[in-house]
Amino acid sequence: MAEVSLDVEAPIDAVWAVLADGWSYAGWVVGASHIRDVDTGWPKPGTRIHHSVGPWPLVIDDTTEVVRCEPSRLLELDARLWPAGAARITFTLRARSEALTEVRMTESVERGPTSVLPSFLQDLLLTPRNRETLQRLSALAQGRSAVQ
């Protein structure tokens, strides 16, 4: 399981606001190129983001579904990218102070051909991407925090 964390210089509510805004997904998830739709009620369990991944014209359309949601604490997703597979991604938030939030992201490939790769190889492939994802999430949260 690939795990990364980052201390974000923004209040926990600003970080959560980015995670809870399904339309912002392509702005911080590395690889997501376009949001086609967001189910009403996102991020309630069972709701989905309908996204595209990859550069045009090699775009793959798929979805990411909320598995578990504890507002301002935890968001667990089932992210699909067929034919490559699907991954379980969990974001855990912890306020370190009023203006600093620790964000922990874990990802494990659950289904599909990439799930047979050894764990160390999955981690090697996922960790740099997930570090960049958290950097982008941080920038958006800091921007939201600045305008509040």
- Position 120 pLDDT exceeds 90: no
* 91-103 pLDDT per residue, tens: 999 999 999 999 9
Residue 56's pLDDT is 83
Residue 138's pLDDT is 98
The confidence band for 147, taking pLDDT boundaries of 50, 70 and 90, is low
Which domains are delineated in the chain?
2-147 (3.30.530.20)
Mean pLDDT of the residues in the chain = 92
- Position 110 pLDDT exceeds 80: yes
Residue 123's pLDDT is 85
* 33-66 pLDDT per residue, tens: 999 999 999 999 999 999 998 888 889 999 999 9
- Position 28 pLDDT exceeds 80: yes
Q: Please report the DSSP string for the chain in residue order.
A: -EEEEEEESS-HHHHHHHHT-GGGHHHHSTTEEEEEEE-TTTTSTT-EEEEEESSTTS-EEEEEEEEEEETTTEEEEEEEETTTEEEEEEEEEEEEETTEEEEEEEEEEEESGGGGS-HHHHHHHHHHHHHHHHHHHHHHHHHHHHH-
